Homo-oligomer: A and B are copies of this chain.
Amino acid sequence: MVSIKEANQEAVAIMQKSEPVLVDMGIAGEVLPGMTEKTILHAGPPVEWEDMCGPMRGAVIGALIYEGLADNEEEAVELAGSGEIDFAPCHHYQAVGPMAGVTSASMPVYVVENKEHGNQAFCTVNEGLGKVLRYGAYAEEVIEKLKWIEKTLAPAFKKALDLIESGINIKNMTSQALHMGDECHNRNKAGTALFIREITPYLLKAGVEPQVVSEIVEFMGENEHFYLNISMAACKATMDAAHGIEGSTIITAMARNGVEFGIRISGLGDQWFTGPAQVIDGLFFPGYSTEDANPDIGDSTISETAAIGGFAMAAAPAIVGFVGGTPEDAVKFTKSMYEISVAENETFTIPSMNFRGTATGIDVRKVVETGILPAINTGIAHKDPGVGQVGAGLVDPPKECFEDAIRAFAKEYKG
């Protein structure tokens, strides 16, 4: 049997060589293997309807209305609790979703293919700020915007991507964005601008109506997080490839459902190791405070798992205006991540640190040994459905999930 070290080197080599490319737009119900009309996917580790937090319940209600399975909140709540709906983590369907992460059959998704390994990953389209499903809003305007994404934006993107023979290389775009002040989790301003620069000529060449292209470019331009969902799908395509290496202690997923924070380990199959989702320490938008905050939620921590986000904060000093702290803190967090990782990224580099590669491949053993938890920056959802984002900040994962994983690993590989 190979040593843990060798297994981890193999997992990290896969991460380094991964080549996630945006190749297509699909419809969740058609492209996510196993997805049905009655499947509702959500962020984080498994959670049943009864246990879901406010924003996730709101997003489920919205998705059921959007799908036409319910006419209003009351019907949606009844259906959700009836046992007819299969709730499952996005992660179980090769997908990821920010915040509530709710994904239903009719929703368009980015199709990101890991060209090196052949696997695909999926993520919905970012809805922008304000009242949006991922924060649990389900008012008419929310459903209308989702329909616009389904009927207008996604078909236009599909036409454009059809013209781009080799697809859009997201690994390359992310590496550029890291040199432009993004860390590609909570700051996606450069990534979004680069994506607009890339796709717009193809939207026009594909014959999309000029007025529609104008609407789409404005929609992207007004939402500096637009790139997040594309980046998340790319991270998922990378980490899924590195999953399932026998004997590896590399963390291949970190995700939160608003109640629990969970991780998966490359060498431990489909198991989740969980602990309570924590409260986020950050900057609140005017009028909100910690009391309004839902605990940590969303699959966007796939970013940190894949060596960006909190692991690249030193590349994005301007982010502290959004998540709090100082640029020095950002550098400190980034540097401490080398202590819990097994490699330095060959593609994602930090100019101000003399182009050092970001810490890559979190070894759960190192997390437990050092007591250093993965640095995560994240948006803060209001605890009630429909209110939306109330801030952004830094959050610690719960220690126990890493300890449980170590124990499970010892048991699995004993002898």
Contact among B196, B201, B214, B326 for A218, CB-based, below 8 A: B201
Contact among B190, B211, B318, B351 for A204, CB-based, below 8 A: B211
Q: Does A286 contact B (CB under 8 A)?
A: no
Contact among B193, B210, B326, B351 for A194, CB-based, below 8 A: B193
Q: Does A168 contact B (CB under 8 A)?
A: no
Contact among B198, B351, B354 for A181, CB-based, below 8 A: B351
- CB contacts (< 8 Å) of A85 on chain B: these are none
Complex CA gap A25/B193 in Å reads 24
Complex CA gap A182/B179 in Å reads 9
Q: State whether A196 touches B190 (Cβ < 8 A).
A: no
Q: Does A167 contact B (CB under 8 A)?
A: no
How many residues on A have C-beta within 8 angstroms of the other chain's C-beta atoms?
A: 37
Contact among B176, B182, B213 for A210, CB-based, below 8 A: B213
Q: State whether A217 touches B197 (Cβ < 8 A).
A: yes
CB distance from A8 to the nearest CB of B (A): 30
Q: Does A327 contact B (CB under 8 A)?
A: yes
Q: Tell me which residues from 326 to 351 in chain A have a Cβ below 8 Å from any Cβ of chain B.
A: 326-328, 351
CB distance from A159 to the nearest CB of B (A): 13
Q: State whether A196 touches B193 (Cβ < 8 A).
A: yes
Chain B residue nearest to A196 (CB atoms) is B197
Complex CA gap A180/B179 in Å reads 8
How would residues 172 to 206 of chain A score, 1 for a CB under 8 Å from any chain B CB and 0 otherwise?
00001001111000000110111011101100110
Q: State whether A201 touches B181 (Cβ < 8 A).
A: no
Chain B residue nearest to A220 (CB atoms) is B197
Complex CA gap A279/B210 in Å reads 48
CB distance from A16 to the nearest CB of B (A): 21
Q: Tell me which residues from 131 to 179 in chain A have a Cβ below 8 Å from any Cβ of chain B.
A: 176, 179
Q: State whether A213 touches B221 (Cβ < 8 A).
A: no
Complex CA gap A354/B326 in Å reads 7
How would residues 220 to 234 of chain A score, 1 for a CB under 8 Å from any chain B CB and 0 otherwise?
110000000000000
Q: Does A289 contact B (CB under 8 A)?
A: no
Contact among B190, B200, B205 for A190, CB-based, below 8 A: B190
Q: State whether B213 touches A204 (Cβ < 8 A).
A: yes
Chain B residue nearest to A190 (CB atoms) is B180
Q: State whether B201 touches A217 (Cβ < 8 A).
A: yes
CB distance from A192 to the nearest CB of B (A): 8
Complex CA gap A140/B326 in Å reads 53
- CB contacts (< 8 Å) of A201 on chain B: these are 214-215, 217-218, 221
- CB contacts (< 8 Å) of A271 on chain B: these are none
CB distance from A224 to the nearest CB of B (A): 10
Q: Does A309 contact B (CB under 8 A)?
A: no
Chain B residue nearest to A179 (CB atoms) is B318
Q: State whether B221 touches A214 (Cβ < 8 A).
A: no
Q: Does A317 contact B (CB under 8 A)?
A: yes
Q: Tell me which residues from 294 to 347 in chain A have a Cβ below 8 Å from any Cβ of chain B.
A: 317-318, 320, 326-328
- CB contacts (< 8 Å) of A355 on chain B: these are 327
Q: State whether B352 touches A317 (Cβ < 8 A).
A: yes
Looking at A198, A210, A221, the one whose CB has the most chain B CB atoms below 10 A away is A210
Complex CA gap A221/B193 in Å reads 11
- CB contacts (< 8 Å) of A326 on chain B: these are 354
- CB contacts (< 8 Å) of A189 on chain B: these are 176, 180
- CB contacts (< 8 Å) of A196 on chain B: these are 193, 196-197, 200
Q: State whether A193 touches B197 (Cβ < 8 A).
A: yes
Chain B residue nearest to A349 (CB atoms) is B318
6 smallest beta-carbon distances between A and B, as pairs:
A317-B351, A193-B193, A204-B214, A179-B318, A318-B351, A180-B181
8 pairs, CB–CB < 8 Å, chain A vs chain B: A180-B190, A180-B193, A197-B221, A198-B221, A201-B215, A201-B218, A204-B213, A210-B210
With A181-B190, A193-B193, A204-B213 known, 11 other A-B pairs at CB within 8 A are A180-B180, A180-B193, A181-B351, A196-B200, A197-B217, A197-B220, A201-B215, A204-B217, A210-B210, A318-B351, A327-B354
